Amino acid sequence: MQRIEVNVQTGVQTIVNMTAEEIAALPEPVLPTYQELRAAAYPSIADQLDKIYHEGIDAWKETISAVKAEYPKGV
Amino acid sequence: MSISKIQDAGVSLTGAALPAGSVTPDLLAQPLTSGTEVATTSGTAIDFTGIPSWVKKITLLMKAVSTNGGSDYIVRIGDTTLATSGYTSVANYVNPGANSCTGTAYYGGFILTKDINSGTAFTATCTITLQSSGLYVWAFIGNNGLSGAGFFGSSYLDLGSTLNRVTLTTVNGTDTFDAGLINIMYE
């Protein structure tokens, strides 16, 4: 991996290869929880209400259930 | 006599009348300085080094910056090395399309975004201001440029020393910049 180093006084830009120590110091990836994945996938409240109005509760449940099935608890 | 000659001679200017328009920023010993714009199209971090010790305020300007991943942007400061902890950092996220406002806290750097997506063009202006010896206060405002969602926040870091470097990177440190421009201004 590389980073771009810019000296603000000289304007010189240098591509620096990261050292093994710098790479080792990078944080462990934090994976999203199933709640975060579901929250991002659900339609907005306005869209959900619109779906209920136009298509009924069963159609709304189908939409929500599909998201829950895609991101089951424990993921 | 030009301004530079007066400075060289060490002459006191007390009581002297300077001609209007003669004092331009580049004649000052500690001028407002705009850096060289850098394309954020490669690398996992952009490091600005060599910041003079007299600097009291730094402005970072980001235009349509994006990466190849979804890790949020952070800014770190340091002297010989970058500080990677001790930041009291919050990014607030306003999404007008969903009538929502949320936020995220981060302690490993000044955080700029929350749940940024790959390829999202992020534009922001950020300031780092010296409040007292070694204590820097941070504030920023930005926008992802697509849905109109905005980000803002403020925080601080007691660095305990005088900074000479500022870095833009991501939380995971591995996402690679793939578009945009960044520049630094200091005074």
Q: Strands (DSSP E) along chain B, which ranges? A: 33-34, 38-39, 46-49, 57-67, 73-78, 89-95, 100-106, 110-111, 122-132, 135-143, 150-158, 165-170, 177-186
State residue B24's pLDDT score.
Answer: 76
Which pTM was predicted? 0.74
Lowest mean per-residue pLDDT among B1-10, B25-34, B74-83, B109-118: B1-10
Supply the mean pLDDT for chain B: 87
Q: In which band, very low, low, confident or very high, does the pLDDT at B145 lie, cut at 50, 70 and 90?
A: confident
- For residue B44, is pLDDT > 90? yes
Mutate to test the interface with B, among A2, A5, A8 (most CBs of B within 10 A): A8
- Provide the pLDDT confidence category of residue B1 given band limits of 50, 70 and 90: very low
- A26-55 pLDDT, tens digit each: 776 666 788 878 888 899 899 999 999 999
Distance to chain A for B101, nearest Cα, Å:
13
- Checking if the pLDDT of B15 tops 70, the result is no
Residue B3 is predicted with a pLDDT of 52
DSSP B111-151: E--SSPPTT--EEEEEEEEEEETTEEEEEEEEE-SSS--EE
**Per-residue confidence (pLDDT) for residue B147, from 0 to 100:** 64
pLDDT higher for B23 or B36?
A: B36
- Per-residue model confidence (pLDDT) at position B20: 72
- The winner for highest mean pLDDT among A17-26, A36-45, B110-119, B164-173 is B164-173
* Residue (of B42, B113, B101) closest to A4 by Cα position: B42
Instruction: Assess whether pLDDT exceeds 60 at residue B47.
Output: yes
In this predicted structure, the answer to whether residue B181 has a pLDDT above a threshold of 50 is yes
User: What average pLDDT does the segment B68-75 reach?
Assistant: 93
CA distance A69 to chain B (A): 22
ipTM value of the model? Answer: 0.73
A chain contacts of residue B167, beta-carbon cutoff 8 Å:
3
CB-based contact B42 A2, cutoff 8 Å: yes
| Sheet with B73-78: strands ordered across | A13-17, A2-7, B46-49, B165-170, B73-78, B110-111
The pLDDT value recorded for residue A29 is 62
Instruction: Search chain B and give the residue with CA nearest A32.
Output: B115
CA B171 to chain centre: 16
Which residue matches tokens 């407002």? Answer: B32
Q: What is the pLDDT of residue A30?
A: 62
Which residue on chain B is closest to A37 by alpha carbon?
B115
- pLDDT: which is higher, A3 or A54: A54
Across the range B115-126, mean pLDDT stands at 88
- Place B12 in a pLDDT band, splitting at 50, 70 and 90: low
Q: How far is B91 from chain A (nearest CA, A)?
A: 17
For A43, nearest residue in chain B (alpha carbons): B98
